[in-house]
Structure 1
Amino acid sequence: MRRLGLIFLISGCVKPRISSLKVADFVLVDTSQPATEYLHMQRSMDYPIYYTGPVKDTINIGQRYERRRTPIPRWPEIFPVSYTYSDKNLRIEVDTSFDANCLEEHYSKDWEIDPDLTRNYHASVFTIQNISDSIICMGETFSIYYMHRELKNRQGQWIQMEKSLSQELFCGTGQPTIYIKPGEMILSKVKHYKGTFKTDCRLVFGRNDRVVYSNVFSEFVDDKIFSFNDTEN
């Protein structure tokens, strides 16, 4: 598995902490607060986008992309684009070699971020890279629209644990459509569960039978999660 080079910065009132890992394709500079909690059982999941663009020597991230603070890319009205997903044109890699923080923001009634409702989840960084020679449409919104997670149960079966935003029929009004050019990538984070059952986990991107799987990584979960998450309903 490819490992990201990392310089990890903690901002705010917490004393800064800098950790450095061996550099591979690029160095990631992530500015955030420390993670403080794990996921509980959830029927749907948000995979926020922190970066889209070319692979560079150093990539800086902090807050997730969000409609009111991230410029919406402009594309021509008509251009050649692929809506087909397979391991021939996309590669998904999850890096669990360091603990990241996935910040979940909530808004007050006057649409201001409420710091009292902010959550800081233990997470891992992952990338989705376009390895084809075509522009690929990745769906709508500043989250990864067609992504969900699968876990292996005690019988060794892969079980879908959550619905993607597309399966939830999430309304993308006012949200951008995300495209990535050949060689470009999306950088996101996957939040982690906590439990006593260690099992295999993978991310799945796509729709219908046109899907791409990430590398397999370990997740610790509560056995009850397999009965709680019924993605057919």
Structure 2
Amino acid sequence: MKNSIVVFFLVCLFSCTGRGSIETYPIITTQEFDSIISEDSKLMLAANPVVYAINFKDSVNLNDKKEDEQNYFGEYDENFYIHDSLKIFVDDKNLDFHTSEFNFFSIPPPPPPKIKDSIYDKENGVYEYEYEYNTDKEFEELLLKMEQRKRVHYKTYPVYIYNYGESQTVIQAPIITELFILLEAKNKNNEWKPVEYFEQYGFLCGTGHRDYVLRPKHYLLTTVKRYKGDYKTKLRVKFRSFDKVFYSNEFEGFINYSQFQPDSIIEKTKQRLANRDSITISQKLKWMFLNN
């Protein structure tokens, strides 16, 4: 097994819209892994952002991710939603960085129960089934597959959201995935276009949903994939929280030019939402790309 790797970030100086600056990147200990994949997709993929760490300053070990109730927000105070002190930036110089895409919503479902026996109900003309439910061994096998999946990593860019203000702020979390973030690129017309989309669903249950609290002078760490491809261009990350949109620094990278094509994804989304009204469908299609 390969050991975890400690990644030392380079010194990076930049201004945060005229308020404060960040002088050094934190020291990140990456998760243990078995293999690393380079994504070479010909299609536009759904973004699957993961919050790997939150509320850290100088260093963080991604193998020690712990749940902390202070990282989440359940009460509502409009002052916490003012995002004047947030900055998002990408470290595109660390080309050895890698992370797992595994999060709660990527957990494969347990295997379905097996049909043990069936009896035909002549009066109602239907079969009644007796099921054999999953054994402990099957669930153990599922847990093993989950652990194996967590050790398959993608080449990614570290993406930081930094609160350089003097008070905490709240970052909006989706019900599915963990942040409203996707990758954009410049096309041959020098226009910024999405090369990822945010998947839209007809109905979502928000039971237990919580947003994130980002403390002053602290970081949140997420990533975007470092794609392979046939087209070298400028890239940036688009981030949205409570109707406010942020863009990261621009950097060079590769994609396949076909990743600009959203038509098939839009058509599938329309079919999925066919039972909804036109206003809802229009809004969902805008949210696919984090637009108003």
Q: CA deviation at 1:162?
A: 2.6
The change in CA–CA distance for 1:134 and 1:221 in structure 2 (over 3 A counts) is: same
Provide the residue aligned with 1:4 in structure 2.
none
Distance 1:18 1:83 in 2: 34
Structure having the higher helix fraction is 2
Q: How does 1:177-216 map to 2 (within 5 A)?
A: 177-206=211-240, 210-216=244-250
CA offsets 1:185-222 (integer angstroms, 9 cap, x no match): 20112112210100111111125862111011122111
The change in CA–CA distance for 1:80 and 1:37 in structure 2 (over 3 A counts) is: same
SS for the counterpart of 2:91 is strand
Structure 1: 5+ residue stretches without partners: 1-12
Q: How does 1:103-122 map to 2 (within 5 A)?
A: 103-105=100-102, 106-109=107-110, 110=139, 112=143, 114=145, 115=147, 117=149, 119-122=152-155
Q: CA deviation at 1:53?
A: 0.8
Provide the residue aligned with 1:129 in structure 2.
162
The change in CA–CA distance for 1:71 and 1:200 in structure 2 (over 3 A counts) is: same
Distance 1:76 1:228 in 2: 35
The change in CA–CA distance for 1:20 and 1:79 in structure 2 (over 3 A counts) is: closer
Provide the residue aligned with 1:59 in structure 2.
60
CA offsets 1:153-209 (integer angstroms, 9 cap, x no match): 1111001233346x6676543243201122122011211221010011111112586
The change in CA–CA distance for 1:170 and 1:193 in structure 2 (over 3 A counts) is: farther
CA offsets 1:52-86 (integer angstroms, 9 cap, x no match): 11412x322137x6xxx63443657465643244x
CA offsets 1:7-44 (integer angstroms, 9 cap, x no match): xxxxxx12666665556343222233252231523442
Distance 1:206 1:80 in 2: 17
The change in CA–CA distance for 1:228 and 1:176 in structure 2 (over 3 A counts) is: same
Is the contact between residue 4 and residue 29 of structure 2 (CA under 8 Å) also seen in structure 1?
A: no
The change in CA–CA distance for 1:207 and 1:54 in structure 2 (over 3 A counts) is: closer
Is the contact between residue 230 and residue 256 of structure 2 (CA under 8 Å) also seen in structure 1?
A: yes
Distance 1:208 1:19 in 2: 32
Aligned length: 213
Distance 1:175 1:113 in 2: 27
**Counterpart residue type for residue 51 of structure 1:** A
Provide the residue aligned with 1:29 in structure 2.
29
Q: CA deviation at 1:128?
A: 0.3
Distance 1:151 1:81 in 2: 33
The change in CA–CA distance for 1:108 and 1:228 in structure 2 (over 3 A counts) is: same
The change in CA–CA distance for 1:14 and 1:159 in structure 2 (over 3 A counts) is: same
Bigger CA radius of gyration: 2
**Counterpart residue type for residue 38 of structure 1:** E
Is the contact between residue 73 and residue 210 of structure 2 (CA under 8 Å) also seen in structure 1?
A: no
Is the contact between residue 50 and residue 62 of structure 1 (CA under 8 Å) also seen in structure 2?
A: no
TM-score by length of structure 1 reads 0.74
Q: How does 1:1-233 map to 2 (within 5 A)?
A: 13-14=1-2, 20=8, 22=10, 24-33=24-33, 34-38=35-39, 40=41, 41-56=43-58, 58-62=59-63, 70-73=67-70, 77=75, 81-85=79-83, 88-98=84-94, 99-105=96-102, 106-109=107-110, 110=139, 112=143, 114=145, 115=147, 117=149, 119-140=152-173, 144-164=178-198, 171-206=205-240, 210-228=244-262, 232=285
Q: CA RMSD in A?
A: 3.2
**Counterpart residue type for residue 91 of structure 1:** K
Is the contact between residue 49 and residue 143 of structure 1 (CA under 8 Å) also seen in structure 2?
A: no
Is the contact between residue 7 and residue 28 of structure 2 (CA under 8 Å) also seen in structure 1?
A: no
Structure 2: 5+ residue stretches without partners: 12-23, 111-138, 267-284
